[in-house]
Amino acid sequence: MIPTGYYVLLSAALFTLGVLGVLIRRNALIVFMSVELMLNSATLALRHHRRRRRGRGRPGAAGDDLPQQADDRRRRDSDLEGVTFERSNV
């Protein structure tokens, strides 16, 4: 797994390039591309933070039981195959 510091460093570098592009360039297209670069760097940092908080990417961590949850959901749905639910007009 890639260390957190690398994600933070890459995100900071991309954000800095975006800020420099906004401050230095006067062309509207380049400014919009720089703003998009800044937003992408923030997205990168937030996605990595969310992944680390959920524990994905580490063996034995939360999120590894997703196939088991899907199995349970299929089993629960198959139990309800013949059941019909009445709709009330309240």
**Is the pLDDT assigned to residue 63 strictly greater than 70?**
no
Assigned domain for 4 exists: yes
CATH code of the domain containing 34? 1.10.287.3510
Tell me the whole-structure pTM to 2 decimals.
0.58
Assigned domain for 1 exists: yes
Residue 45 to residue 89: CA distance in whole angstroms = 48
User: Which pLDDT value is given to residue 33?
Assistant: 96
Assigned domain for 83 exists: no
Q: pLDDT class for 16, splitting at 50, 70, 90?
A: very high
Total domains in the chain come to 1
Assigned domain for 15 exists: yes
Which alpha helices (DSSP H) does 1-65 contain, by range?
A: 4-24, 28-54
Assigned domain for 73 exists: no
- Length of the chain counted residue by residue: 90
Least confident of 14-18, 34-38, 74-78: 74-78
Report whether 47 contacts 53 (CB < 8 A): no
Task: Provide the domain limits for residue 24.
Answer: 1-57
